[in-house]
């Protein structure tokens, strides 16, 4: 059972081959065109996918040692994501599946972020709770089985990755700011400055408040000292990161308690954050959780996770018809 998977939901063009549930490769072309704009420009992302997709697929096929005729299915990200970016991947996948006469498998990008946990050991046991934290989403998901998931909490406004990137932008850091805040935070004092933790009902999150708080905080301090940011960058980053992690951990603990689940996973780009990884492990010790953190390359967008999800869908007999269309706001 060999599946070629394509990921093109945002600004990473990626292809991967999975053989009998084992990932053979994970080729990723990251688009650098967006850096100078301080965020992903959808139109440029679509064009870059158009440019990178065939070379990326070629490389995935070449390094797999398989021939096209060995493929059992073609998988692709159906959504959520940028419509123009998704269209490139979907059209390519359809054309390839059609020409080879093999099935098509659509994958939900957010489910794939979670299923990335099944690429390598240790694998979480069902049911588990996954905190999915990425550039576009912040979700608490109850995972009952590979293809049986329920969102039990999510953000009502910005995603936590957005909060990292937008506050980084306010400090003049380049896009994506998340990894840079992480790096600077490691050298700073997390208690140096206080930012508000949003008080949201049940398992909901809100991250728009901290962005505004940081904006006023910087404005007021820059009035007094124009060099405030450069002189305090490490402490500001550490304090922002501390607040964001605390917000996430509060709700994660609440969810674990409510559902009486001790199998806890994190997924999505922000799960690459060293502070979040460390805090999760500390809490796990205190609360007796078994925690699961994906390898760095499977945290941010990649086709290996799409391939893993497609493997389970193939086994479950879930295929797509040739008239399938992408969904920018796809739900589970
Ligand atoms: P979605 O998956 O919701 O559609 P996306 O695919 O754009 O959104 P990912 O690629 O999963 O999101 O993650 C990208 C996000 O992860 C960015 O916001 C980036 O800043 C953030 N990120 C990556 N590494 C780190 C890190 N070490 N610390 C904090 N944030 C990080
Ligand atoms: Mg990305
Ligand atoms: Fe993603």
- The per-residue pLDDT for 129 is 98
Q: Residue 286 carries which DSSP code?
A: H
Is any ligand 1 atom within 6 A of the Cβ of residue 245?
no
**Model confidence pLDDT, tens digit, residues 134-152:** 999 999 999 999 999 999 9
**Model confidence pLDDT, tens digit, residues 241-271:** 999 999 999 999 999 999 999 999 999 999 9
Q: What is the largest CA-CA distance in the chain?
A: 68
Residues across the chain: 332
3-state helix, strand, coil in the chain (%, to 5): 50, 20, 30
Q: Where are the alpha helices (DSSP H) in 260-302?
A: 274-287
* pTM to 2 decimal places: 0.96
**Model confidence pLDDT, tens digit, residues 168-216:** 999 999 999 999 999 999 999 999 999 999 999 999 999 999 999 999 9
Is 4 within 8 Å of 15 (Cβ atoms)?
yes
Whole-angstrom distance, CA of residue 138 vs CA of residue 166: 15
138 labeled binding residue? no
Whole-angstrom distance, CA of residue 61 vs CA of residue 147: 27
Q: Where are the alpha helices (DSSP H) in 129-207?
A: 160-170, 178-185
> How many angstroms does the Cα of residue 273 sit away from the middle of ligand 1?
9
Shortest CA distance to 50 belongs to which of 12, 78, 88, 86?
Answer: 88
> How many angstroms does the Cα of residue 21 sit away from the middle of ligand 2?
25
- Which H/E stretch holds residue 232? helix 228-259
> How many angstroms does the Cα of residue 170 sit away from the middle of ligand 2?
20
At residue 332, does pLDDT exceed 90? no
Whole-angstrom distance, CA of residue 169 vs CA of residue 36: 12
Residue with CA closest to ligand 1 atom 9? 269
């Amino acid at each position: 059972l060999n599946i070629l998977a394509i990921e093109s939901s945002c600004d990473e063009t990626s292809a991967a081959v999975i053989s009998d549930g084992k990932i053979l490769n994970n080729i990723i072309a990251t688009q650098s065109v967006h850096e100078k704009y301080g965020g992903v420009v959808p139109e440029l992302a679509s064009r870059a996918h158009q440019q990178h997709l065939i070379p990326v697929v070629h490389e995935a096929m070449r390094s797999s040692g398989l021939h096209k005729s060995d493929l059992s299915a073609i998988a692709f990200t159906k959504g959520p994501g940028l419509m123009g970016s998704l269209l490139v991947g979907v059209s390519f996948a359809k054309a390839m599946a059609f020409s080879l006469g093999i099935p098509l498998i659509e994958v939900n990008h957010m489910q794939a972020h979670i299923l990335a946990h099944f690429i390598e050991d240790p694998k979480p046991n069902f049911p588990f709770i996954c905190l999915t934290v990425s550039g576009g989403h912040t979700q608490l998901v109850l995972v009952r089985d590979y293809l049986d998931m329920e969102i039990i909490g999510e953000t009502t406004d910005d995603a936590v990755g957005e909060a990292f990137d937008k506050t980084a932008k306010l400090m003049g850091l380049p896009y994506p700011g998340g990894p840079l805040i992480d790096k600077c935070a490691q050298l700073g004092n997390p208690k140096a400055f206080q930012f508000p933790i949003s008080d949201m009902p049940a398992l909901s999150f809100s991250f728009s408040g901290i962005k505004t708080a940081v904006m006023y905080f910087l404005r007021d301090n820059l009035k007094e000292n124009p060099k405030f940011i450069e002189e305090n960058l490490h402490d500001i980053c550490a304090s922002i990161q501390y607040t964001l992690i605390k917000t996430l951990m509060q709700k994660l603990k609440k969810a674990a308690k409510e559902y009486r689940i001790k199998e806890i996973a994190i997924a999505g780009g922000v799960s690459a954050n060293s502070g979040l990884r460390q805090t999760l492990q500390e809490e796990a010790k205190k609360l007796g959780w078994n925690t699961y953190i994906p390898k760095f390359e499977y945290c941010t967008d990649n086709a290996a996770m799409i391939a893993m999800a497609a493997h389970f869908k193939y086994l479950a007999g879930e295929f797509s018809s040739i008239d399938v269309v992408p969904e920018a706001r796809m739900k589970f």
